[in-house]
Amino acid sequence: MKKLMIAGATSGSGKTSVTLGILSALSDTLRIQPYKVGPDYVDTKFHSRITGRQSRNIDSFLVPDEHSLKYLFERDTSDVDLGLVEGVMGLYDGLGTDKDAHSSASIAKTLNIPVVLVVNGRSASTSIAAIVKGFIEFDPAVPIVGIVVNNVMSQNHFDLIKGAIMRYVNIPVLGYLPFKKSLSLPSRQLGLVPDNELPAVDSKIAELGKLTKAHIDLKQLLALSGTSVDAHLPSPIVTQQVDLTLGIAQDDAFSFYYQDNLEALKEAGVTLKSFSPIADKALPEGIDALYLGGGYPEEFAAELSANTAMKQAIRAFSQANRPIYAECGGLMYLGNQLTTSNGTFNMLGLLNGESEMTPRLKRFGYCEASPVVDTLIGAAGTKLVGHEFHHSVFTANTGLEPVLRMRKVRDGAVVDEWPGGYQVRQTFASYLHVHFYQSKTVFNGLLDRLGARVHASH
């Protein structure tokens, strides 16, 4: 397949609009596998909505092994024409000041993906050439092959910017997207509002596709793409087949799952049965364990609270000592109460503590975790890596003790430490989002503790 990354000079440059426009413009004629750099759950849904293929996260902090990262990028792509990667933040932004610490630029170098840089043209002309020149010279090993200008006010404005770039930098300027306030997608908590909550999302995406066809040279863009092959390698973490049926919460309140996590479970023989904590009155039949992912339970707190039949079913499941694994939004759902701007709502009451929404982001970014006792996610002393991102705090009451030692390391120094994660019986919940491909030890250990029965091995 051809491969290309759309990266921004900064957050807000317009890389998401350009990515969605290209996906919309080309999906009718090409089979596209979309990707997102970083631990993002929302942009990937927009990608999948357009292409009909599940977008994948490519993240070198969450998946530190380079071979695993390459496997996740190339697997199941033999029928794909184009792998299109949307970057994260600015091209060189990652963890700390190191330009190669999990940035879009480092992914582009590791996977040899040509980069199209998106720059914000609003309120500037020749100065954009200085920005482009700086980005290219900052790390010549990053394969920047072309430029797209966003937020252009007129054809004359674009001609000025393009002329300056060609004069001072001499790199292909592939086109632009005009400034159109009506096409901006609303944000929530440093990211887009999920596609399923936007009534006019398809018409906005279609309009972005039309503008992309009109103003960006897609033929030249494809000519600048690199090539990659599906190597048909075995999964680096799926090393056994198990007998396990897993109930997975999937609705408007719980939708944050890495696609590769779900694929790994299925490849290992796990049967996934979806259910809705908002709408369903009972858990799926025959399940051995539950997986409650992240999402926006605060947006649907009243509905979750009102569904007493589902709350009682999950409580009974936990009280029968059945395994429950929960991340972030799942943690909030498992507590006693959830307080939002609309009031306080009763949740499951399996964890003796309360969640409260906060006006500011409480934690954001990569972190390391180590269980201090044996837990569902890992034995005591296991090293875990993950990501926290939440506008809430969970306050544990007397008797509920944290089971994870959390820390953030930046530029080689520990910059923060805190306790986190809770386990009651076989119910584990924390704010930590984890990628199963971080190691086969983490993945297979979780399968074992979820009650999987091994019935064959590769």
Which residues are marked as active site? 328
Beta carbons of 392 and 337 less than 8 angstroms apart:
no
Beta carbons of 238 and 268 less than 8 angstroms apart:
yes
Amino acid 295 reads G
**Count of helices and strands (H, E) across the chain:** 13, 27
Beta carbons of 107 and 5 less than 8 angstroms apart:
yes
Strand runs (DSSP E) across 343-391, as ranges? 343-346, 353-357, 363-371, 384-390
As a whole number of angstroms, the distance between CA 14 and CA 27 comes to 20
Q: Please tell me whether residue 66 adopts helix, strand or coil conformation.
A: helix
What token pair was written down for 224?
A: 């600048």
As a whole number of angstroms, the distance between CA 234 and CA 338 comes to 43
First-to-last alpha carbon distance for the chain, in angstroms, is 28
What token pair was written down for 363?
A: 């934690």
Task: Output the CA–CA distances (angstroms, integers) from residue 305 to 276, 344, 443, in the order listed.
Answer: 13, 10, 32
Which residues, in sequence order, are bridge partners of residue 295?
A: 254
Please state whether beta strands 144-152 and 173-178 pair in parallel, antiparallel, or not at all (unpaired).
parallel
CA nearest to 409, candidates 427, 426, 386: 386
As a whole number of angstroms, the distance between CA 11 and CA 341 comes to 28
Helix (H) or strand (E) holding 243: strand 240-249
As a whole number of angstroms, the distance between CA 96 and CA 100 comes to 10
Strand runs (DSSP E) across 54-127, as ranges? 56-58, 82-90, 115-120
What token pair was written down for 428?
A: 């584990």
**Residue 108 burial class via C-beta count within 10 angstroms: exposed 0-12, middle 13-18, buried 19 and up:** buried
